[in-house]
Structure 1
C-alpha cells in the first residue's frame, strides 16, 4: 500500500503530510487520536517487505532507538506491520535537520557548531554506554529544535556490540561522505567511528564544505582512508580546529577516547554548560565496547596554523605508515592476521625467537545483503577490499531522477569465493535515450 494523506496505519495513526523520502522508506507526519498528539511515522517501502533482511533491519531500528533513554535521541513510541507495510512511530521533532540548516546558511558560527557537537556527543555516549554504535552520523540524522536542542534519529543501521551484525562482516554501511576509514575498509564500527563522523559534520558546518571529496563514492571512500583533511578557515580558533582534527585522525586511537570526552572539550571551548541532565546508564547484560587509549596531545593530522611550528618529517612519517597500514588492511580483508613482533633474545641464549609469518586469507565471503540495493561504487570498494575483482555491467535503464540509479540489483558469483575471483556486478543506469515529447 502506497502511503497517502488520510490513510490509517495500525488502525490508529492517520497520515497528515509527508516529511521526507529516504532510502528505506518515507517519513510522514501523522496524528494519534487516542492520546491526541502528532507523531512521525516511518513507513518501509513496499518493495522491501519481501526481503527478510530489510524487514529485520527495520524492526531492529525500533529496538535500537528504544534501547537508549536520552533527551538527545528521538523517542520511539510504537512499531507495527499492517496492510503489507511495516511502520515505526516516533517522536515528531519540531524544527529542521542540520542538513537543511546547512543548505540554507552554508556555514555556522563556531560557538553554535561546538554546541551541536557537545549535545550530539553526549547523546552518542549514552548510546555507546548501552553498547550501541550509530554508524551513520550525518547532518540529515541530526534534528535541531527551535530552541537549539539536538535530537539524533535513524538508528536503522546501528550495530549492537554484543550481537551479530544484521549485515555480513565487511559490509560498508553508512553514508560515504561521513564514513570513517575503518568503515571504508570493511572493519567493525566502534564508538570512535561515530566520533569521526561527527568530526566530519563539524568540519562541514565550519568550512561550508566537506573535507573529503571525489568524482564518485569509491573515490570519496579512498580519500577518507588516505588523505589528510585541508585546513579549516583561518578565522576559526586554532583550539577549535585542533579538536575537529583530533576527531578526523585516521587511527581511532588518536581520536578523543570517548564521546563524553569530546563533549566536555567542546563545552569547554564554547563556555557553555551541558544541556539537560546527562544519562549514562549501562545495561548490565551488554559488554562494554573495548576502547584503546587515546593520546590527546599527539594529533596525527593536525594542520599548521599561523605561527605554529610543525615537524613536517613526523607528519610525512605518520602519513606513510598510516597509508601502508590501511593498504595492508584492504588487501587482507576480511580477517587480517596481525604481524607477530618477536621478543629480543638475551645474549646468553643463542637460539633466536622465530617470527610468525602472516597468512593471507585464500577465500572471501560475499553475501547478497552485502551488495544488493547498495551503490555500485561502494560495492566495488567492498569487493576490492576483500581481494576480489569487479566487473561492472550496466543493467536496466531507469528514468532520470529515479533513486535506484547506480544501485546494484544482481551480482554473481556470491558466497565463499577464492581471492582473485571476478564478481560480475549489474546495476541500474540512467536512461539516456529519453526524448522530450513532440508538440
Structure 2
C-alpha cells in the first residue's frame, strides 16, 4: 500500500478498499468512505492514525474498539463488518451510514424540539445499556459520536476509547481520554470512570439537544473542567423557552457530581426524560447545591494558573467537602482556592449598604418559565415583555421602563429608568435565580455602568457583561442577546 506525500490516503488502495473521501477524523483514527472491491459494497473504514501507531496503548485501544463493536448486537450500535491489520495498519470496516451526526444537526438547526431530543436520547441509551451489560464503558459520549439517518434512526459510534474492567483513563502520554465538554467530574481526577460516567455524559448530550449549547462553555478548557467539577448543573428551561422545568430535574440528577447520585442506568435517564417530555414530574430530584461563599464573584471562572504536567499532587483534603475529595486527585491542583471561590456569582437583594446577606431568594414568579406564546417586547432579546425578562427577577418595577437588557449564558441583567430619569440595575444568576439590585446606574459608552456599596462594578455593554471588584475583572460574559431603548 502506498501513501502519498503528506500522509493523505485519499485515492489510494488499502488492501481491498478504495479510499474515496474522508468522513471524519477522531482522537485515534481517520474514517474514510471506501469501496470494498472484494465484497462490492460501500463501507466506512477507520484506520489508526499514523502518528499514534507507535504507541502500544493506542494500538490496544483500537483493537478493543474492533472487538467491542463486533460483539455488540444492539441495533443502535453501528454494525462492524470486519477488522484486523493490513500492512501494519490497524483498521475496522463498518456499515456506511448515510446521514449527519447529531452535532451537525444541532449546528444546522439549533436546539431540537423536546420530543425529538428524547427520541434520540432513548436510542443512544439503549446502545449504552447494551455496552454496560457487556462490562464496557464508552467514555466519549458526545453529539459527534451519534449518527442519524434521515429518519432519525440513531447509531452510537466510536468505541475506540471504550474500556473494560481494569484500564486507566489516562494514556501513557498523560492525555485524559474523552471530550472534556461532556466528561464526568470523577474523570478529571484520573479515575477510570464506570457506567455512571457515561450517564453523566448522556445528560450533557440531553442538555445540548434541548438548548443547542454544551452545558458549560468557556474560552479556556480549564474553566470547563472546573465547571464540571464544581458548578451546579445548568437548567435547560432557563436557557430555552418552551423547555419544561421537569427537564431541569432530569439534567440535575444525570449530571450529579457524585456517581451514586445519578440515574443507575442510561435507560432510566431516558425514561425520566420521556416523562419530562410528556409533562410528568421526574421521579426524583437532586437538592440544589448551596453556593460555598457570599463574596462577589461570577460563575465565569478567571483564567487559572498554568496547568502543571500530569499527574499532579492533590491539595490537602481539608480544602474541600467530603463529597469533593474524590474529585480532586490528579488534576485539581491546577485550580487554586480562588478558582473554587470564583465559581460563585452572588447577588444581594438590594444595595442599601447594610451587612445583610447578599444571597437573595427570588420571588415566586422567578421560578416560572416564560410562556412559549409570549412575544419579545424588546427587539433582539427573547423572552421579554414591556417590563423585562418574563418569569425572572431581572425586570423593572411598575412605573419604570427598560433602558437596556442583556442575556449571557450565565446571567440576565436589566437597566431600568424611573419616571424621574434615574437608572437602576437588576441582575439575576441563571442557575439558581439569585439576584441583585443597585441604584444609581450611569450611561457609559453604548451601555451602562453601576457600582455597588461593596465596590463591585457592573458594566452592561452591547457585547458583554463585565463584573469587576478590587480593581480586577471577575468575569466578562459575552452577550448572547442585547437590547436597548437608545
TM-score normalized with structure 1 length: 0.62
Aligned to 1:263: 270
Give the Cα separation in 2 of the matches to 1:180 and 1:268: 24
Aligned partner of residue 326 in structure 2, secondary structure: helix
The answer on whether the counterparts of 1:127 and 1:133 sit within 8 Å (CA) in structure 2 is yes
Is residue 19 of structure 1 aligned with residue 26 of structure 2? no
Question: Cα–Cα, structure 1 residues 144 and 77, in superposed 2: closer, same or farther, change >3 Å?
Answer: same
Counterpart pick for 1:164 among 167, 170, 175: 167
RMSD: 2.9
Aligned to 2:432: none
Q: Which structure has more RCO (C-alpha within 8 Å, separation ≥ 6)?
A: 1
Counterpart pick for 2:67 among 50, 53, 63: 63
Deviation, structure 1 residue 229: 2.9
Deviation, structure 1 residue 205: 1.7
Aligned to 1:250: 257
Give the Cα separation in 2 of the matches to 1:177 and 1:322: 25
Aligned partner of residue 114 in structure 1, secondary structure: helix
Give the Cα separation in 2 of the matches to 1:30 and 1:382: 44
Is residue 37 of structure 1 aligned with residue 36 of structure 2? no
Give the Cα separation in 1 of the matches to 2:10 and 2:191: 42
Instruction: Decide which moves more: 52-61 or 81-90.
Output: 81-90
The answer on whether the counterparts of 2:258 and 2:323 sit within 8 Å (CA) in structure 1 is no
The answer on whether the counterparts of 2:28 and 2:160 sit within 8 Å (CA) in structure 1 is no
The answer on whether the counterparts of 2:74 and 2:126 sit within 8 Å (CA) in structure 1 is no
Q: Which runs of 5+ in 2 are unaligned?
A: 293-317, 336-486
Q: How does 1:110-121 map to 2 (within 5 A)?
A: 110-121=114-125
Aligned to 1:186: 190
| Bigger-Rg structure (1/2) | 2
Is residue 325 of structure 1 aligned with residue 322 of structure 2? yes
Question: Cα–Cα, structure 1 residues 323 and 234, in superposed 2: closer, same or farther, change >3 Å?
Answer: farther
Deviation, structure 1 residue 13: 1.6
Give the Cα separation in 2 of the matches to 1:382 and 1:249: 18
Structure having the larger proportion of residues in helix: 1
The answer on whether the counterparts of 1:225 and 1:326 sit within 8 Å (CA) in structure 2 is no
Aligned to 2:472: none
**CA offset digits 1:77-129 (Å, max 9, x no partner):** 22232234322111111110011111111211111111111111111011111
Is residue 79 of structure 1 aligned with residue 83 of structure 2? yes
Give the Cα separation in 2 of the matches to 1:75 and 1:322: 48
Aligned to 1:9: 14
Give the Cα separation in 2 of the matches to 1:265 and 1:298: 11
Deviation, structure 1 residue 4: 3.0
The answer on whether the counterparts of 2:69 and 2:78 sit within 8 Å (CA) in structure 1 is yes
Q: How does 1:100-179 map to 2 (within 5 A)?
A: 100-161=104-165, 163-165=166-168, 167=170, 172-179=176-183
The answer on whether the counterparts of 1:256 and 1:296 sit within 8 Å (CA) in structure 2 is no
Give the Cα separation in 2 of the matches to 1:123 and 1:69: 9
The answer on whether the counterparts of 2:171 and 2:177 sit within 8 Å (CA) in structure 1 is no
Deviation, structure 1 residue 296: 5.2
Question: Cα–Cα, structure 1 residues 167 and 64, in superposed 2: closer, same or farther, change >3 Å?
Answer: farther
Aligned to 2:286: 299
Deviation, structure 1 residue 316: 4.8
The answer on whether the counterparts of 1:16 and 1:31 sit within 8 Å (CA) in structure 2 is yes
Deviation, structure 1 residue 241: 2.7
Question: Cα–Cα, structure 1 residues 168 and 22, in superposed 2: closer, same or farther, change >3 Å?
Answer: closer
Q: Which runs of 5+ in 1 are unaligned?
A: 272-294, 302-313, 335-380, 386-439
Question: Cα–Cα, structure 1 residues 78 and 328, in superposed 2: closer, same or farther, change >3 Å?
Answer: same
Instruction: Decide which moves more: 39-48 or 147-156.
Output: 39-48
Counterpart pick for 2:56 among 49, 52, 64: 52
Question: Cα–Cα, structure 1 residues 182 and 296, in superposed 2: closer, same or farther, change >3 Å?
Answer: farther
Give the Cα separation in 2 of the matches to 1:6 and 1:108: 37
Aligned partner of residue 18 in structure 2, secondary structure: strand
Deviation, structure 1 residue 148: 0.8
TM-score normalized with structure 2 length: 0.57
